[in-house]
Amino acid sequence: MPLEVKLIRYRGERRIGLFFEKNADWIARVKKLEGSRWSQSLKVWHIPDTEANRIRFKIVVHEPSAEGYLQLEQFQRYLRSKRYSESTVKTYSEALKSFLTFYKEKSVYEITNDDVIVYNTEFILKNKLSSSYQNQIVNAIKLYFTTQRGFKINIDQIHRPKREKTLPNVLSKEEVKQLLESHSNLKHKTMLSLIYSCGLRCGELLALKPVHIDSKRNIVLLKNSKGKKDRIVPLSGKILEMLRDYYKIYKPTSYLFEGQTIGTPYDERSLQQVLKQALKKAGISKPVTLHWLRHSYATHLLENGTDLRYIQELLGHNSSKTTEIYTHVSTKSIQQIKSPFDDL
Quote the pLDDT of residue 128: 75
Per-residue DSSP letters for 118-187? HHIIIIIITTT--HHHHHHHHHHHHHHIIIIIS----GGGS--PPPP-PPPP---HHHHHHHHHS---HH
Long-range contacts of 231-237 (CB under 8 A, 24+ apart): 231/313, 231/314, 231/316, 233/198, 233/199, 233/200, 233/314, 234/198, 234/314, 235/197, 235/198, 236/197
For residue 219, list its beta bridge partners: 214, 234
Tell me whether residue 31 is one of the annotated catalytic residues.
no
Q: What are phi and psi of 232, to 5 degrees?
A: -120, 145
Tell me whether residue 103 is one of the annotated catalytic residues.
no
Quote the CA–CA distance of 166 and 41 in Å, as a whole number. 10
Judge contact between 114 and 153, C-beta under 8 A.
Answer: no
Quote the pLDDT of residue 196: 92
Element (H, E) at 7: strand 4-10
Tell me whether residue 183 is one of the annotated catalytic residues.
no
Q: One of 294, 295, 297, 300 is an active-site residue; which one? A: 294
Tell me whether residue 56 is one of the annotated catalytic residues.
no
Tell me whether residue 10 is one of the annotated catalytic residues.
no
Judge contact between 96 and 144, C-beta under 8 A.
Answer: yes
HSE, CB side, 13 Å, CA atoms: give it for residue 185: 11
Tell me whether residue 326 is one of the annotated catalytic residues.
yes
For residue 48, list its beta bridge partners: 15
Quote the CA–CA distance of 197 and 165 in Å, as a whole number. 26
Judge contact between 266 and 259, C-beta under 8 A.
Answer: yes
pTM: 0.60
Quote the pLDDT of residue 166: 66
Quote the pLDDT of residue 343: 58
Exposure string for 44-68, b = 16+ CB within 10 A, e = fewer: bbbbebeeebeeeeeeeeeebbeeb
Q: One of 37, 226, 231, 281 is an active-site residue; which one? A: 226
Judge contact between 9 and 130, C-beta under 8 A.
Answer: yes
Quote the pLDDT of residue 238: 92
Q: One of 37, 142, 281, 291 is an active-site residue; which one? A: 291
Domains defined for the chain, CATH in brackets: 4-56 (no CATH), 66-157 (1.10.150.130), 173-328 (1.10.443.10)
List CB contacts of 50: < 8 A, sequence separation 6 or more: none
Quote the CA–CA distance of 266 and 253 in Å, as a whole number. 12
Tens-binned pLDDT, residue by residue, of the chain (344 aa): 578 888 888 877 888 999 988 888 889 999 999 999 998 888 899 999 887 888 888 877 677 888 888 989 999 999 999 888 788 888 899 888 888 888 888 888 888 888 888 888 888 777 777 777 788 888 888 889 888 877 666 766 666 656 556 677 888 999 999 999 998 899 999 999 999 999 998 989 999 999 999 989 998 898 876 766 788 888 988 999 999 999 999 999 899 999 888 888 999 889 999 999 999 999 999 999 999 999 998 888 888 888 888 888 888 887 777 777 776 666 555 555 555 545 54
Q: One of 37, 54, 187, 201 is an active-site residue; which one? A: 201
